[in-house]
Chain A
């Protein structure tokens, strides 16, 4: 019965996007459709998670074509968790965007285009999470990427076009890698079905496996912004409107991480590249956070912390143990919510303070204590201060690392080095965010030269620059949406036990690929 709900998570947003496009001239109806659709998907995702966690994983064949030929949609615990978290985050950010759109109606945020693109982006994200074959995963990626191109260049100002060109070309290259990998994998195994691949890839010669594995990792690594392939992210994300940046930062990179999890635990379960992943994960952490140290603009600072914290997830995946995987899943959930919250708060700071650079912000704590709380809690959370979920996630990862090091003395030194890198990265994250806090929130307003004329100063300094915007009214809806997400991050801490238990059960399914295979092929893979 609940199996019939599975295609809805993709169908509802797509139908919603079509209706939103038709209703382009009726702003209220459009907003109503978008909010209703995402709320419905969140409910469906909740039902799916409850069903799946009760021990009834779902596999749906579309059009009744049998598994290896037709399209299979698979919902196991990991998929259901990702669906629920992304649906909730997408819904809250949509409400934030509605609040912002109601407040300012100028040509940089043409809302009639925003809603359909946003729903199509959601459809792509959901499709990627339930795809049961590699080609459907590719289609999901393309749907979300096409929508993200539109959202990133919304309004078509010079700055956004410049940032958009970088992002689009990098994404296109990554898609070409992915498609070539699918072609070669199909040529080598004769299938694109994930469950069937898991069996057939293991039968290939070692060298062929290595090439295919690396091709897929490069394609997903660009999307997840893993170190040598992460250069594009801090240049392209910060220029977009605040809600768009928040969704991109929270979700799009995690879709890449999700694909890497599937690659490592299912497709190439037998083929081990964990040493490479561990090195790359460590480098992503350290080099990403070193970039954040020198940034004055908080949006760029957060983009660098985003890159850096992807490294933790890659480290968790590289451990290939159940505890490592469970900690990774918990960390992904934590990071989606906390990173989105921080970008939403930055949007509030930009409206309230008129700027995002620490050189132009001061005295915010006195001016708005609520804004201080909304920034302070997620900032400490991201930095990994106990008792927040960031601390729990990192502790889980380090514990798993310690176990792995004890179990395998040959690579123990590497694990310890990466754990040390993780601890240092956590401290530097805290330092970077504290620096912003001290300057923007604690520094008295009088210390800021020429505070009265923020706008005039920026115009004199850089007539063409757009880093400074005028202070606008802060709508209650935006504050409310941000508050809701902060509460969600706190709930992740309060209910850490049950959530980690769920992540642990999901990890148990992932560690043993035969669970996934028997789900798609109850009689064994052909």
Chain B
């Protein structure tokens, strides 16, 4: 009985193996391949944003699935380096990684394979490593958050006009006290302040990029403190759903939350990585150099705002957003214009930012010139990390 079963199984296996052999022969040899290394899979909004971008770029370039290899769930350790090597062995000409902690392991692989291009989103070391095949990329998402702030400001103004007892205090749920988060909430605050000059903001950190319960708690704590509008920089639905429960308007991040928060969703900003993925593929295929530090902007299509919510936003918001957007694109308006904020009661005239990630955590580059803070110009990843007046951090242990 068992022998029969085993021989049957073996026969099936052999036939299957034969089929596999033929299937393998049929595949055409394509000379261009890109490898993509992701920290999680689509269950994280952060990684899902990258997956969507890669698939969009693939479609635009007409590449087949075998030419775009996506490796999900790669931790920030030796396995990243191992995966990069594996992708090289599979014939990838350019390799892209999406998480900040992948950086050192990508650099290690870049040094070993000088003929392959390595591109890393959110990293900080490309401009100091000076490798011709290692590149960083980010987007001027502070401009997107500023525009989202404008939409929030209009809502806040309307709320104050409707009810004169409302104190203009808003709340923000942040992940870590990291420049990317600080730059984000400051630009959001400045957007709101543009419309409501008396606004103040409370920031609560969670110490994690993804912690649904903690983000929900933080949002609820802010609401209980009297914050009348909430935004966040963390990857779960914690804060938006807390806002929906309590009827507090919310500005989201990474994508629209209108389907689960129809009453309170105003707008969301997000980085669209498709233009960058497309760019690195095209440059590699053409044998051209890739920028060491690439900063996507509104013009490149990298910084995007979603459609406005259906109920929460004020009428006419889109037109005002478009007007500010045009000014940002034209360069006549700067988010971090030193006339629009103060630090310790004084106007900012000079600031040494920690642009070179050399392990010393000290400022090294003057970034205030021509009356504004030059964010994402000396490297693509944000470095605005100041505490400006009007924003209060409730906890800063992270």
A and B part of one assembly: no
Listed in ascending order, the chain B residues whose CB lies under 8 Å from chain A are none
